[in-house]
Structure 1
Amino acid sequence: MTEPGVGANSIRIDQWLWHARIVKSRTLAQKLVASGKVRINREKMTSASHMVSIGDVLTISLERDVIIREILAIGQSRRPYEEAKLLYRDLTPARAPAQETENPMPAPSHRPGAQDRRALRRLSGKLF
C-alpha cells in the first residue's frame, strides 16, 4: 500500500532537505531525520524515506535554531540558493532582539598582574 501523497507531487524528505539547501549533503539530511530533529506537520519522523508533498510544514531543529518551512514546490535537482529559496516559505517567527543588560560590567582598566591572577584563581577554586 502506498503512502498518501505519493506521486509526482511528493519526494523523500531527505531529498527535499538537500534540494532546498537546508543541509549540505543527503547523508546529513538522513542523519538529521533519523535523529528525530525533523517534524512533518507536527509529527516526529525518523525515516528518511518518508514522502513529503506540497503544503506540508516542516519543523527542523538545527544546532541553535528551530526553523519552520512550508513546502511550496518539489525540486527535481539541487539548484543554486536563489532558486532553492523558491521551494519553501519561511514560517519561522522573528527572533526577539537581544536585550541589553542595564548595568554591563565595566571594562578592566588594566591587565591583571600575577597577584591579581592568583586571587582570581582562589576565588574560582582552580588550582592552576
Structure 2
Amino acid sequence: MSDEPGLRLDKWLVYARFFKTRALAAEVAAKSRLRINSIVVTKPHYRVRKGDVLTFPQAQRIRVIRVLDLAERRGPAIEAQRLYEALDDLA
C-alpha cells in the first residue's frame, strides 16, 4: 500500500460533485460499477489518490476522469471542478 495521502472514494466523488450523497457514491462502488486505474472497485472506502483515473456511470454516460487533487469538503461547483480532469471529453 502506498504512503501517499488519499481520500475515501465515496467522499471524493461527493466532494467533486459527481454524486449528491455518499450513499449514492457508495452504491455505485458496491455494485462493482466503478474502476480505478482499470481495476474494478467493490468497496466505497477504497483510497483515491492524485493521478488515479476513475471510470464510472453517471446518468446516461460513462465518465472517465483523472484525479488532480483531494478535497476537505464539498464546496461550490467551481472548486469541485479543480479536483479532476475530464478525459471523456477529450475523445
Structure 1: 4+ residue segments shifted above 4 A:
none
Q: 1:85 aligns with which of 67, 75, 81?
A: 81
Identify unmatched segments of 5+ residues in structure 1: 96-128
C-alpha distance after superposition, 1:101-122 (max 9, x if no partner): xxxxxxxxxxxxxxxxxxxxxx
- Pairs within 5 Å for 1:1-128: 3-5=1-3, 9-93=5-89
Provide the rounded CA distance (Å) in 2 between the counterparts of 1:63 and 1:87.
Answer: 20
Identify unmatched segments of 5+ residues in structure 2: none
**TM-score, scaled relative to structure 1:** 0.67
| Cα RMSD, aligned residues only | 1.5
Deviates more, 1:47-56 or 1:62-71: 62-71
Higher strand share: 2
Provide the rounded CA distance (Å) in 1 between the counterparts of 2:41 and 2:61.
Answer: 18
Q: Secondary structure at the match of 1:48?
A: coil
Tell me if the contact between 1:37 and 1:62 (Cα under 8 Å) persists in the aligned partners: no
1:119 corresponds to = none
Provide the rounded CA distance (Å) in 2 between the counterparts of 1:76 and 1:42.
Answer: 26
Give the aligned residue type for 1:66.
I
**TM-score, scaled relative to structure 2:** 0.92
Identity of aligned residues (%): 32
Aligned residues: 91
Tell me if the contact between 1:69 and 1:90 (Cα under 8 Å) persists in the aligned partners: yes
Provide the rounded CA distance (Å) in 1 between the counterparts of 2:82 and 2:74.
Answer: 12
